[in-house]
Amino acid sequence: MGKQRKKWATDTKEQIVLAVLGGQLSVAEAARQHGVNESLIHTWKAQFLEAGRARLDGDRQGDRQTELKRENERLKVLVGEKELALQIAKKVRGL
């Protein structure tokens, strides 16, 4: 018999993706901590950036596309702000 795939909860996938996008964890660290393949995290990250949380939940309907685009833009801004804050903190510490 083959190995059965694990079904990851949407909340768990979202938490992992946001930790990676926010710079709190690298993909490798997240993979080790959660026992998931790195390539799967990359897939989740791409899906999340493409269509937001609903895509991770398996919702592929186009009727919510506008809403998801707005959410995606909001998250991109948030990630950019976090990246900027991280860079500033590194400069302050002299790294």
Q: Which amino acid, 23?
A: G
The Cα–Cα gap between 10 and 56 comes to 6
Percent share of the chain, pLDDT over 70: 82
Q: Are 51 and 57 contacting, i.e. CB atoms less than 8 angstroms apart?
A: no
The first and second tokens of residue 80, run together, are 């950019």
pLDDT band at 63 (very low <50, low <70, confident <90, very high): low
pLDDT band at 15 (very low <50, low <70, confident <90, very high): very high
Going by the DSSP 8-state scheme, the letter that residue 23 receives in this structure is: T
Cα–Cα distance list, 22 to 11, 16, 27 (Å):
16, 10, 11
Quote the pLDDT of residue 59.
59
- Reported as half-sphere exposure (CB side, CA atoms, 13 A), residue 28 has a value of 0
